[in-house]
Amino acid sequence: MQLIGIKTPLIIPGDDIAVVLCDAMETARITPQENDIFVLAESAVATAEGRVVKLDTVKPSKKAIELSKTYQNDPRKMELIMRESDEILGGIPGVVVTITKGVLSPSAGIDNSNAPEGYVVLLPADPEKSAIGIRKKLMKKYNCNIAVIVGDSRT
């Protein structure tokens, strides 16, 4: 088995991840082979899908303000955590433990680290659907069976 990183340009909202990957692989002279597995960062997929939120546009509810004090989180981010998660289980200062899209995740998977200052990246709306769409495009382009995983490096 071999692990190959594919360097892409910075992903922006509206990008077609499959096209970005194909262009990057062509530049690097990489051709996918039968049964290759692509692991894509959820933040890149979500960014391409436009799941980037400017915190200044979020109005926190009273409950979000209350919880933000408990978990020492920005109230606007806490509002997004409440909107995005199925359930809040608890947490520690700075991290809220949630069930989001049926998966245990910190802070509903909301990512500050891969977003511009003042923005956050939410999880893809439907990661499985995203992976399937990207997979279909790559298989059509390269005429081989591949797998696509949308993953989070933090969990």
Q: Which domains does the chain have, with CATH numbers?
A: 17-50+124-151 (3.30.1330.100), 52-121 (3.90.1660.10)
pTM for the model: 0.89
CB 45 within 8 A of CB 135: no
Per-chain mean pLDDT for the chain: 94
Q: Give 77-106 pLDDT, tens digit per residue.
A: 999 999 999 999 999 998 999 999 888 999
In angstroms, rounded to a whole number, what is the distance separating the alpha carbons of residues 110 and 80?
Answer: 8
